[in-house]
Structure 1
Amino acid sequence: MSLPLILPPIILGGAGFSHQVYRNPNAAQALQVLKRALELGLRAIDTSAYYHPSEILLGEALSHPDITNLYTRDQYVLMTKVGRIAADKFDYSPTWVRSSVFRSLQRLRTDYLDVVFCHDVEFVPEDEVIEAVGVLFQMAGEGHIRHVGISGYRTDILMRLAHRVREEFSRPLDIAQNWAQLTLQNDGLAEDLDEFKKAGVSCICSSSPLAIGLLRTNGVPVGDLGDFHPAPQGLRIASKLAADYVAAKGDDLAALALRYSIRRAQSLSSPDFRVTTIMGITTIAELEDNLATARQVLPVTESQWRWVAEAGPSTDAVSSQVKKDEELSAGVKDILGPWYGYCFPSPGDGWDVATKMPVPSRI
């Protein structure tokens, strides 16, 4: 079955089970969240070897009797990534790509992966990405992988690589993943979708609808690894002012931002081209709040999702919510001012793409 037909509108992000965004991620947390997510009809999970220990915790949870007794492997979509090992370490070599995939299969305790992405492709030379994609295509032919994709922040690089893949392998990438550019703060991804379609890409995953937690009342998340968020201080201040404005209007910035991203993704989708939203989840409360928010804007025609069919809004309710959101969104964009549309530097001046290493300090 083609990927646009099986990829759901909402995907559970596995970064919430990592040291980057959560303090002390653990097996009990992962099992509780996964059980509740599956109960609510959420049947797609995106993670990465880089989101340590996410793969391990998800594998333990998905192999627990509480889940295996109720769900078979073909009832959910499992996606992971290769290439990025640490904040300043990448390995796109054929040997490592293969090893990483086999390690992910072992960690996730599965016989196959629905999707494998090359992770944060703008940090490495493009020729290395092309070579890694070729390895993943081979592994797809061997039955270890169903679909192959690339991920990153820089849409210009993602689009260029998508065209190169089609030219060099005479087949397109199945999917691409981009983060924080289909949001209330930056809607740039929407302008690039036609180019992905020309390259034969049939699915786009839009992750970080809150721009890695920037668009919320409490500010950016800080996990065990400290404050890694790329937003400059000016954007952080503007986001806090926007959160205060939305709160004064009786709403919540995180909820507004999530509704915006989900509704935007659905408006850009078609039967043969799917745009989905990946939500980072860390707790059951967060899961339930986010899905309640999603219900406000997802159409009831997404019949494969039980919770949508059961709790989908009426047409009048959707129209009313859209009108309110448009007014609030306009106010947020006014407050963001010059920060609206701002792109995070990726990889930034401190990174040497050729060597895949930080630029040595001159001090």
Structure 2
Amino acid sequence: MRPSRATMPLSRLLPPLILGGAGFSHQIISNPTSAQALQVLKRAFQLGLRAIDTSAYYHPSEMLLGDALAHPDIASNYTRDQYILMTKVGRITATQFDYSPAWVRNSVMRSLERLRSEYLDVVFCHDVEFVPEEEVLEAVRVLLEMVDEGHIKYVGISGYRIDTLTRIARRVQEKYSRPLDVVQNWAQLTLQNDRLVQEGLAAFREAGVSCVCSSSPLAIGLLRSNGVPVGDLGDFHPAPQGLRCAAKEAADYVAARGESLAALALRYSILRAQSISASNFRVAIITGITSIAELEENLDTARQVLRVTGGQRWLWTADDAAPAELGQPKIEEYEALVKSVQDILGVWKDYCFPSPGDGWDVARKRPVDTRL
């Protein structure tokens, strides 16, 4: 049964931690499978992690997640209103975008079919800096229509460029006399790059946005001991060699002190989001997960700074409660490690990846033709 038009702000519903569906894509791992998705999702639901963010671009994530959600091990134990599904439209491949009204509508309906659901909780316009802003505004209009039709509950935009995201958020509020429900930004609420806080959050609040999702707390796998992930599509990571070397040095430094850079980075992002969030404005973290071992490792880290009730639901803490749960000696140790890592990063601290970069023609939505 489709829901009626949402009246409650998404910030009241979205948990502080969200499972990222890119972990079931060819971009991140080799040979993603239905069995992998089912194992991870089943365990995630058992542990109370029941919000999922994916995209049609993260092929074949939507299909694998749909298979898992329809499996008796999940379908017989969880009703649709017990979990949150978020996906994206507009980006088709690394170099192909379609923000036309017909494609946006087709993409949403296809996602519903793939995810085996009668409605989607959130739909984002994907990587908005790659296309003309007028096309994004038109795509948002179509998504708002689909909210009225009951296919979608909340509408958002996603991308890397904070200036683009804030500008579009303001334009949506002006054009449609209502704000976006949510904005998603990636890899800019991390140990390496904290620009989302510095440049984005106040502007989003001014544009009426009540919820921000920060994905890639490990900067797409940069902030871990074993280097950037390489899936079936090869090494797509945008980090230059200098940043990769600095991240490796930081990982080695943290490991020598009995810690994991990945755990430290995830803890940093969650704590940072918690310190910013309030009752009417939330910052949630999306963490990519590819295996049960990775899931449990991430949730062990999250439990240090988030509360969970009876294994059923991740809860927001009071604004200043999460750091105190670590205990003062642990806080001091954590803060010292954070400072050391950021010192090692040096000139790479707050470095931004080029997006879309000089090689992309935004007006034509395609790579620049260097033959001209």
Task: Report if aligned partners of 1:14, 1:48 keep a CA contact under 8 Å in 2.
Answer: yes
CA deviation digits over 1:257-309, x for unaligned, max 9? 00000010111100010100000000000000000000111146899626999
The correspondence for 2:368, drawn from 345, 359, 363, is 359
**Where in structure 2 are the equivalents of 1:76-87 lying within 5 Å?**
76-87=83-94
Task: Report if aligned partners of 1:81, 1:118 keep a CA contact under 8 Å in 2.
Answer: yes
Task: Report if aligned partners of 2:96, 2:365 keep a CA contact under 8 Å in 1.
Answer: yes
1:253 equivalenced with 2:261 (yes/no): yes
Report deviation, 1:77: 0.6
The aligned counterpart of 2:349 is 340
The aligned counterpart of 1:317 is 326
Find the residue that maps to 2:81 and give its secondary structure.
helix
The aligned counterpart of 2:82 is 75
The aligned counterpart of 2:16 is 9
The correspondence for 2:210, drawn from 182, 202, 221, is 202
The correspondence for 1:63, drawn from 70, 83, 91, is 70
**Where in structure 2 are the equivalents of 1:117-196 lying within 5 Å?**
117-191=124-198, 192-196=200-204
Task: Report if aligned partners of 1:162, 1:196 keep a CA contact under 8 Å in 2.
Answer: yes
Report deviation, 1:362: 3.4
The correspondence for 1:330, drawn from 312, 317, 339, is 339
Task: Report if aligned partners of 2:146, 2:152 keep a CA contact under 8 Å in 1.
Answer: yes
Task: Report if aligned partners of 2:185, 2:213 keep a CA contact under 8 Å in 1.
Answer: yes
- Structure 1 residue runs of 5 or longer lacking an equivalent are none
The aligned counterpart of 2:5 is none
Report deviation, 1:117: 0.0
CA deviation digits over 1:1-26, x for unaligned, max 9? 32111100000000000000011000
RMSD: 1.9
Report deviation, 1:320: 3.2
CA distance in 2, matches of 1:244, 1:229: 20
Amino-acid identity (%): 70
Find the residue that maps to 1:220 and give its secondary structure.
coil
CA distance in 1, matches of 2:179, 2:296: 36
1:148/1:111 CA distance change after superposition, 3 Å? same
Find the residue that maps to 2:326 and give its secondary structure.
helix
The aligned counterpart of 1:294 is 302
CA deviation digits over 1:137-162, x for unaligned, max 9? 00001000000000000010000000
Find the residue that maps to 2:225 and give its secondary structure.
coil
Query: Letter of the aligned partner of 1:293 in structure 2?
Result: T
Q: Which runs of 4+ in 1 moved over 3 A?
A: 299-304, 306-309, 312-320
Report deviation, 1:361: 2.3
CA deviation digits over 1:195-237, x for unaligned, max 9? 1000000000000000000000000000000000000000000
Q: How many residues align?
A: 361
CA distance in 2, matches of 1:86, 1:65: 32
Find the residue that maps to 2:184 and give its secondary structure.
strand
Query: Letter of the aligned partner of 1:19 in structure 2?
Result: H
Find the residue that maps to 2:155 and give its secondary structure.
strand
CA distance in 1, matches of 2:48, 2:325: 25
CA distance in 1, matches of 2:308, 2:100: 44
Report deviation, 1:322: 2.4
CA deviation digits over 1:232-257, x for unaligned, max 9? 00000000000011011111100000
Query: Letter of the aligned partner of 1:280 in structure 2?
Result: G
CA deviation digits over 1:110-139, x for unaligned, max 9? 000000000000000000000000000000
Find the residue that maps to 2:122 and give its secondary structure.
strand
CA distance in 1, matches of 2:293, 2:308: 23
Task: Report if aligned partners of 1:153, 1:346 keep a CA contact under 8 Å in 2.
Answer: yes
1:301/1:264 CA distance change after superposition, 3 Å? farther
Task: Report if aligned partners of 2:46, 2:312 keep a CA contact under 8 Å in 1.
Answer: no
Find the residue that maps to 1:317 and give its secondary structure.
coil
The correspondence for 1:229, drawn from 225, 228, 237, is 237
Report deviation, 1:360: 1.1
Query: Letter of the aligned partner of 2:35 in structure 1?
Result: A
CA distance in 2, matches of 1:303, 1:225: 36
Report deviation, 1:313: 8.6
Task: Report if aligned partners of 1:41, 1:307 keep a CA contact under 8 Å in 2.
Answer: no
Q: TM-score, normalised by structure 1?
A: 0.96
The correspondence for 2:42, drawn from 4, 12, 35, is 35
Task: Report if aligned partners of 2:308, 2:314 keep a CA contact under 8 Å in 1.
Answer: no
CA distance in 2, matches of 1:302, 1:129: 41
Task: Report if aligned partners of 1:297, 1:318 keep a CA contact under 8 Å in 2.
Answer: no
The aligned counterpart of 2:59 is 52
Task: Report if aligned partners of 2:305, 2:323 keep a CA contact under 8 Å in 1.
Answer: no
Task: Report if aligned partners of 1:204, 1:275 keep a CA contact under 8 Å in 2.
Answer: yes
